[in-house]
Structure formats: structure tokens, C-alpha cells
Amino acid sequence: MNKLLIPAFVSALILGCSTTPIPDDASGAPVESRGGSRSGVAPVVAGGVDANGLPRELTDPKSKLAQRSIYFDLDKYEVKSEYQDLVAAHAKYLVANKGFKVLIQGNTDERGSREYNLSLGQKRSDAVKRSLVLLGAREDQVESVSLGEEKPKAQGADESAWAENRRADILYKAADGRGEF
């Protein structure tokens, strides 16, 4: 009898222990909300927050924190020195605002296979995550995913468009669930 109960118990334990809850309405990887103004910055509403519920300092175009894209060289995933201050500003915000989380979305240009681009996008998002955590953000505040070439910022098949698409985007979410992802 015990020989039958142990495998059943282990199976129930494994099935019951999920580390990442999946919402019922999930249809794939989380993506950035495209709501808000056409300029890419959501309008600010009463209370100093935008329509997504984010504080003004995260959406004010004059704020460094409104800059949410870190760009990469072709086939590279190291955070370039010109973006280290930007990453440090986001890390400082996360340290001071423990109720916020970020999703880092790694992106690539259209060149390369789907598998290569997904891998490179993940390396880019992981590089930004690693930098944020090294600068003081908590590990549980930062999630990294790859979108590969699936979410281009610029259309076209030239170096200008490709350079816009080789990036990692930082999306914020507050503890109350309001935000961009």
C-alpha cells in the first residue's frame, strides 16, 4: 500500500508546486501595453500618475527614467558604457521603490534565424537584469524575457532600422498591478 502512496504523493507535490502562476487570460509572453499617447509616453492624469498608473518621474519625457531602451551592437549583448548611467538610474529607482517590478524585453533585428534571435534577445535582457541586480535591485523585482525579432521598433531592412531593433526595453509594474505589463 505504501509503495502506491509515495509515487502518488510525489506526483501531487510536483503538480501543486508551481513557481510562476499563469493568469487565465495569458496568451503567451507578456508584452508592452500600447495604450497612451502616440508619442510613446502615456498621458499624465490627476495624482501625478499616468494612465497606466505609473508615477510622473517614470513617464515625464524630461526624466532619465522615461528612457526605457538600451541599444546593442550587432550580435552583441554587453551593456554599452553609454547606457550604464541609464541602467544605474533605473536600479536606483527600484532600490528606492520596492513595490515596483520591471520586465526586461530583449529584442533583435530581423537578421539571423528565429532560434538565434530568441537566444540573443534573452542574453540582452539578462545582461540588463544582471546590471540592475548588481546595482542593488532585488532579483524578484526584475524579470527578463526575449521577444527576438517579433516586436520591431522600426520597420525596414537597412542599418538604421536594424539599429533601432537591437535593444532591451524596460517595462514597469507597480505592486497594485498597474503599469505596462
CATH of the domain at 134: 3.30.1330.60
109 within a domain of the structure (yes/no):
yes
135 within a domain of the structure (yes/no):
yes
- One digit per residue, the tens of pLDDT, for the chain of length 181 reads 555 555 554 454 444 444 444 444 444 444 444 333 334 444 444 457 887 889 999 999 999 999 999 999 999 999 999 999 999 999 999 999 999 999 999 999 999 999 999 999 999 999 999 999 999 999 999 999 999 999 999 999 999 999 999 999 999 999 888 999 8
40 within a domain of the structure (yes/no):
no
33 within a domain of the structure (yes/no):
no
Element (H, E) at 170: strand 167-174
> What sign results for the dihedral spanned by CA atoms 135, 139, 142, 145?
positive
pLDDT of residue 75: 97
pLDDT of residue 116: 98
For residues 50 and 35, the answer to whether their CB atoms sit within 8 Å is: no
| Residue 68 structural domain | 52-181
42 within a domain of the structure (yes/no):
no
pLDDT of residue 155: 95
pLDDT of residue 160: 96
* Spatial separation of the C-alpha atoms in residues 33 and 112, rounded to whole Å: 27
Structural domains counted in the chain: 1
pLDDT of residue 82: 98
